[in-house]
């Protein structure tokens, strides 16, 4: 049995065990090295973190509450369930934490233009938001299919001053948008900062995004110690690219008694081809510059992920999760579309909180887990975002249309 990984990665080359690294075209290596150097500089500057914290407090509304879900706990009939309320952040999810950190880094580097990829549009909106705040030029790459599906977020980004570039290549989804953003970056590397939305991509993105999302777990740790005077027994978070999960979990990795569960999108069932369970059902390969678990066919071609929640259908996962899986530190599991929709309705009715469909996967699993635990035990679930954006999707799903 390998020793559990306690969060001290990556190494100097960006590897978490064998996962991660920087498998990129040579034309981007100078840009990635410049980025890594800049991050390593600001990382040790107290002024940088003071400004980050200030914006999180005044603009994002942190700290986000840690809410004891009394009714949900009674419903499940087991462990005490706490919700980390990332849904209450400005723009409605955890993604803004990372955007604040990275735009400060872009400013430090003297960049004037920000580019980003987006799938459902949540990361695009968060990016456009910080660009407005910092008066930076903003270009968002979005697949044409996603543009059609996510009109509201497209309008939001435009209102915030962003230019939307439609990506017609491939299936016109997140993976294609990310490819285009990388191509744009190669052409405009002098002026442009690529603000990546999740803990995937080439080194140093996975470690940067983790450091900017760690605030979730750091706050949760203090909050639970104040409320319960002990650490939680379990943490539960949904896993798309893996940033909200890592943000919650990382500050607890060295506490052996805190069990951790990453919940992937089981879609129509992991026995069908239609899911996005990259760890539970994928294989190791390279996508977007890092070695990790991916959904791929026998020829190594990347498959399209399916999930009712647009934020979970990325066909890969951040590399640090690869190591957390292999060392057994985090247990990965999957929740289906149907189970997520049930949890979406249940939390709305039980607690008056409409969760994002992504977060509903974590809620669904936490209910099952609570039932196997004792009443004095504690679970913290990361409520990664609010679900107002998902009302139409759920309505259609319930009407029997395929999501």
Residues forming the site for ligand PLP (CB under 6 A) = 93, 95, 122, 198-199, 238-245, 311-312, 356, 358-359, 384-385
117 is catalytic: yes
Q: What are φ and ψ of residue 138, in 5° steps?
A: -130, 125
Q: Measure the CA angle with vertex 292, ends 300 and 363; round to 5°.
A: 115
Q: In the bound complex, what is the minimum distance in angstroms from residue 311's beta carbon to ligand PLP?
A: 3
Q: In the bound complex, what is the minimum distance in angstroms from residue 172's beta carbon to ligand PLP?
A: 18
Q: What are φ and ψ of residue 401, in 5° steps?
A: -70, 150
Q: In the bound complex, what is the minimum distance in angstroms from residue 316's beta carbon to ligand PLP?
A: 11
Q: In the bound complex, what is the minimum distance in angstroms from residue 80's beta carbon to ligand PLP?
A: 23
Cα-Cα-Cα-Cα dihedral sign, residues 396, 397, 400, 403: positive
Total number of residues shown for the chain: 403
Among residues 64, 84, 86, 95, the one annotated as catalytic is 95
Q: Looking at beta carbons, which residue is closest to ligand PLP?
A: 385
State which residue, 22 or 245, has the beta carbon closest to ligand PLP.
245
Peptide bond into 2 cis (omega under 30): no
Cα-Cα-Cα-Cα dihedral sign, residues 224, 228, 230, 231: negative
Q: How far apart are CA 89 and CA 96, in angstroms?
A: 8
Among residues 36, 64, 84, 117, the one annotated as catalytic is 117
The alpha helices in 24-92, defined as continuous H runs, are 29-42, 46-55, 70-76
384 is catalytic: yes
Q: In the bound complex, what is the minimum distance in angstroms from residue 315's beta carbon to ligand PLP?
A: 13
Are 341 and 266 contacting, i.e. CB atoms less than 8 angstroms apart? no
User: Could you tell me the two tokens for 315?
Assistant: 């066909």
State which residue, 80 or 85, has the beta carbon closest to ligand PLP.
85
Are 253 and 330 contacting, i.e. CB atoms less than 8 angstroms apart? no
Q: Name the E strands within 192-233.
A: 192-194
Determine the number of helices (DSSP H) and then strands (DSSP E) in the chain. Answer: 16, 14
Among residues 36, 86, 384, 389, the one annotated as catalytic is 384
User: Could you tell me the two tokens for 235?
Assistant: 């943490």
Q: How far apart are CA 148 and CA 48, in angstroms?
A: 38
State which residue, 366 or 373, has the beta carbon closest to ligand PLP.
366
Nearest to 369 by CA among 321, 333, 327: 333
State which residue, 63 or 241, has the beta carbon closest to ligand PLP.
241
Q: In the bound complex, what is the minimum distance in angstroms from residue 98's beta carbon to ligand PLP?
A: 9
Q: In the bound complex, what is the minimum distance in angstroms from residue 4's beta carbon to ligand PLP?
A: 21
95 is catalytic: yes
Give the relative orientation of helices 95-108 and 29-42 as an angle to the nearest 10 degrees: 100
Q: Give the 3-state secondary structure percentages of the chain, helix then strand then coil, rounded to 5.
A: 45, 20, 35
Distances (CA, A) of 203 to 28, 170, 274, 284, 285: 12, 25, 29, 17, 16
Q: In the bound complex, what is the minimum distance in angstroms from residue 78's beta carbon to ligand PLP?
A: 24
Residues in Cβ contact with 129 at an 8 Å cutoff, skipping those fewer than 6 apart: 90, 91, 96, 99, 160
Enumerate the active-site residues: 95, 117, 384
């Amino acid at each position: 049995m390998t020793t559990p990984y306690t969060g001290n990665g990556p190494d100097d080359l960006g590897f978490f065990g064998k996962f991660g690294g920087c498998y990129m075209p040579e034309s981007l290596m100078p840009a990635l090295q410049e980025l890594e150097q800049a991050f390593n500089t600001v990382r040790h500057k107290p002024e940088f973190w003071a400004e980050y914290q200030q914006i999180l407090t005044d603009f994002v509304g942190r700290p986000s509450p840690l809410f004891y879900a009394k009714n949900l706990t009674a419903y499940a009939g087991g462990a005490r369930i706490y919700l980390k309320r990332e849904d209450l952040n400005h723009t409605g999810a955890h993604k803004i934490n990372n955007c604040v950190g990275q735009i400060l880094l872009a400013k430090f580097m003297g960049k004037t233009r920000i580019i980003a990829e987006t799938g459902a549009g949540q990361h695009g909106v968060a990016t456009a938001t910080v660009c407005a705040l910092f008066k930076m030029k903003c270009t968002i790459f979005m697949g044409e299919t996603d543009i059609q599906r996510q009109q509201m977020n497209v309008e939001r980004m435009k209102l915030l001053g962003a230019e939307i570039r439609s990506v017609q290549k491939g299936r016109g989804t997140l993976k294609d948008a990310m490819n285009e953003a990388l191509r744009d970056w190669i052409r405009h590397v002098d002026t442009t900062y690529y603000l990546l939305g999740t803990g995937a991509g080439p080194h140093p993105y996975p470690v940067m995004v983790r450091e900017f999302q760690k605030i979730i777990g750091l706050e949760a740790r203090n909050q639970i110690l104040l409320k319960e005077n002990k650490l939680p027994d379990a943490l539960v978070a949904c896993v798309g690219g893996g940033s909200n999960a890592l943000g919650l979990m990382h500050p607890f990795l060295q506490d052996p008694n805190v069990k951790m569960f990453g919940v992937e999108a089981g879609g129509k069932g992991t026995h069908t081809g239609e899911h996005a369970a990259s760890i539970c059902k994928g294989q190791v390969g390279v996508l977007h510059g890092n070695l990790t678990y991916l959904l791929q066919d026998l020829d190594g071609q990347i498959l399209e992920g399916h999930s009712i929640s647009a934020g979970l259908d990325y066909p890969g996962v951040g590399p640090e999760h690869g190591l957390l899986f292999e060392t057994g530190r985090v247990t990965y599991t999957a929740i289906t579309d149907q189970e997520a929709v049930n949890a979406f309705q249940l939390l709305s009715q039980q607690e008056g909180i409409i969760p994002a469909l992504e977060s509903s996967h974590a809620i669904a699993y936490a209910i099952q887990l609570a039932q196997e635990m004792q009443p004095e035990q504690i679970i913290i679930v990361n409520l990664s975002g609010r679900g107002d954006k998902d009302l139409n999707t759920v309505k259609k799903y319930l009407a029997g249309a395929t999501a």
